[in-house]
């Protein structure tokens, strides 16, 4: 049995939880919520890069991504940033749906599972 390694452990959730060769990240939202959906997506993906690095992996090893948009009309804006970021030949399984997020200023939330 593998041990569980928790990264960025908070009182409510951890930034990421690694178990064996799998890494589960929390849903990430933008810090600067004055930005639009494209800008928020850019921040989130940069933050995911950092979290994956802390867990000893990177975006070429993402297995699955769940994306929530506060307004599905931002699908194209989010994708324009995603498509430039996701490494070609290493694209994950993905699903994107609309959902109201924890606070109205959040336009995008992304949760990934990666290998390491």
Q: Which residues bind a second copy (CB under 8 A)?
A: 1-2, 4, 6, 9-17, 19-22, 24-27, 61, 63-66, 68, 72, 75, 79, 82-83, 86, 88-102, 109, 111, 113, 115
Q: Is 113 helix (H, G, I), strand (E, B) or coil?
A: strand
Q: How far is the CB of 30 from a second copy (least distance, A)?
A: 14
Query: CB-wise, 25 or 77, nearer to a second copy?
Result: 25
Query: CB-wise, 41 or 109, nearer to a second copy?
Result: 109
Degrees, nearest 5: CA angle 27-60-51: 40
The runs of H, that is alpha helices, within the chain are: 37-54, 75-85
Q: Which stretch of DSSP H or E encloses residue 104?
A: none
Query: CB-wise, 34 or 97, nearer to a second copy?
Result: 97
Task: Tell how far CA 30 is from the center of its chain.
Answer: 10
Query: CB-wise, 46 or 113, nearer to a second copy?
Result: 113
Rounded to the nearest 5 percent, the helix, strand and coil shares of the chain are 30, 35, 35
Q: How far is the CB of 80 from a second copy (least distance, A)?
A: 11
């Amino acid at each position: 049995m593998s041990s569980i390694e928790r990264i960025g452990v908070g009182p409510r959730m951890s930034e990421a939880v690694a178990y064996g060769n799998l890494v589960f990240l929390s849903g990430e939202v933008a810090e600067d919520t004055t930005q639009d959906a494209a800008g928020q997506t850019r921040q989130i993906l940069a933050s995911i890069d950092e979290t994956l690095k802390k867990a000893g992996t990177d975006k070429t090893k993402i297995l699955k991504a769940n994306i929530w948009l506060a307004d599905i009309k931002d699908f194209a804006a989010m994708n324009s940033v995603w498509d430039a970021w996701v490494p070609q030949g290493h694209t994950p399984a993905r699903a994107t749906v609309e959902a109201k997020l924890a606070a109205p200023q959040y336009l995008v939330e992304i949760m990934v599972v990666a290998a390491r």
